[in-house]
Every structure is written in structure tokens, then in C-alpha cells.
Copies of this chain bind each other. A is one copy, B any other.
């Protein structure tokens, strides 16, 4: 019996730091592809080419294409959740001004309309559609959603909203719909001031809502 040179393409115990790095590069490339071409743009060969490595690499680091995609989506969510945590921490318990919140939101959205931001956004929406079909993707999305809801609630609280849960959800949904509209239309409309006007109206509406019960 010949000594098996390595586990048959199942990197169970990874030791090498190189390997870890290459794996991360492959995931980066996969995330970019998801954003730029859609989930089905992710093929072993395309990912390898985008990462500048030989084609067989992807098969070595991931048991299957499904696992590769799953890990890519998980990594994407992980990163974004980390960002949410930072923003949440920065917000703290301070009382916020309506104008500065408007400005912060607008700046955040505009940042996402850069080419790189667009790709990241597209990948995120792709994940949402995937979650609508596959429960595994839904699990990935869950923590992300909790993060955005939490951040949004905090923002509404610091604006003095009455029902922070409801208005928090509404803020998340409205922003999500707005971003998708900007994406889908090539973000031609709602430039600069108009974006701010819409955001301001939204925040005004959500804070002015009386604590009415149903």
C-alpha cells in the first residue's frame, strides 16, 4: 500500500498560512464575481482566473462549488456584520440630530454607489434572493438582518422615535428598497440633494409618527 500523499482533496486540518491566504483570495474573487456576474458567474475556472491561480485550486480548497458559494456568501455577511457592529458602537446612546442623521445616511448610500460599492451591494441582494430559495442562505442572512435591525433601532431611538421597533424595521426596509431602486436604474435619478430630501422626509415621517396602537 502506497503512502497516500494527502487527504483526497479534503483539507481537514489546515496548517499552512499560505493555504489560508489563498483560500481567502479565492473567496474574495468569488464574492466579486457574485456581484459582477451573479451567482452563476461563479465557476471553478472563473474564480481561479479572477484570483490569478491555476484552475484546480478551487477544487482543493472547497469540496464542491456549492460549498465555495456558501462560504463566499458567509464571508460576505461576516464582513458586513462587522461593519455594522462598528457603526453601532460609534452611535452609542447619544441623542442625534435629524440633519446629521440624514447626512450620515446619504453619505453612506453615496459611498455604495461607487463601482466597488455597487458590486458589494449586488452581491448582498443576490444573497437575499438566494435566501428566498435556500434555507442555508437564510441562516447566513439571519445574523446580518439582526445587525441591521439593531443599528436601525438604535438610530431611531437616538432620534427620539416612539416605537423604535416598528420605525426601525421601516427604516431598514425603506433604505433597502431605495438602494435597490438606485441600483436597478443605474442610479441616475435621486442625485445629491434629492436623495437627501427623500431621506429627510423618511426620517421626519418615522419620528413624527404618534405612538398609535392598532
Q: Does A191 contact B (CB under 8 A)?
A: no
Q: Which residue of B lies closest to A197 (CB)?
A: B214
Task: Map CB proximity to B onto A129-144 as digits: 1 under 8 Å, 0 otherwise.
Answer: 1011101001001100
The number of times this chain is found in the oligomer is 2
Asked if residues A184 and B38 are in contact (CB atoms below 8 Å), the reply is no
Task: Provide the main secondary structure of the chain A interface.
Answer: helix
Q: Does A40 contact B (CB under 8 A)?
A: yes
- For the complex formed, measure the closest distance between the CB of A98 and the CB atoms of chain B, giving whole angstroms: 10
Q: Does A177 contact B (CB under 8 A)?
A: yes
Q: Given A138-B184, A172-B177, A202-B205, list of 10 further CB < 8 A pairs?
A: A36-B133, A125-B129, A135-B186, A167-B201, A174-B174, A176-B177, A180-B180, A204-B205, A205-B208, A208-B209
- For the complex formed, measure the closest distance between the CB of A190 and the CB atoms of chain B, giving whole angstroms: 8
Q: Which residue of B lies closest to A138 (CB)?
A: B186
Q: How many residues of A contact B (CB 8 A)?
A: 52
Q: Does A105 contact B (CB under 8 A)?
A: no
Q: Which 4 A-B pairs have the closest CB atoms?
A: A205-B205, A173-B177, A177-B177, A176-B177
Q: Does A46 contact B (CB under 8 A)?
A: no
User: Which B residues are in CB contact (< 8 Å) with A172?
Assistant: 177, 181
Q: Which residue of B lies closest to A122 (CB)?
A: B132
A170-193 interface (Cβ within 8 A of B): 170, 172-178, 180-181, 183-186, 193
- For the complex formed, measure the closest distance between the CB of A78 and the CB atoms of chain B, giving whole angstroms: 17
User: Which B residues are in CB contact (< 8 Å) with A193?
Assistant: 214
- For the complex formed, measure the closest distance between the CB of A85 and the CB atoms of chain B, giving whole angstroms: 21
User: Which B residues are in CB contact (< 8 Å) with A170?
Assistant: 174, 198, 201-202, 205
Q: Does A80 contact B (CB under 8 A)?
A: no
User: Which B residues are in CB contact (< 8 Å) with A177?
Assistant: 172-178, 180
Q: How far is the CA of A6 from the CA of B126 in the complex (A)?
A: 42
Q: Which residue of B lies closest to A204 (CB)?
A: B209
Q: Does A75 contact B (CB under 8 A)?
A: no
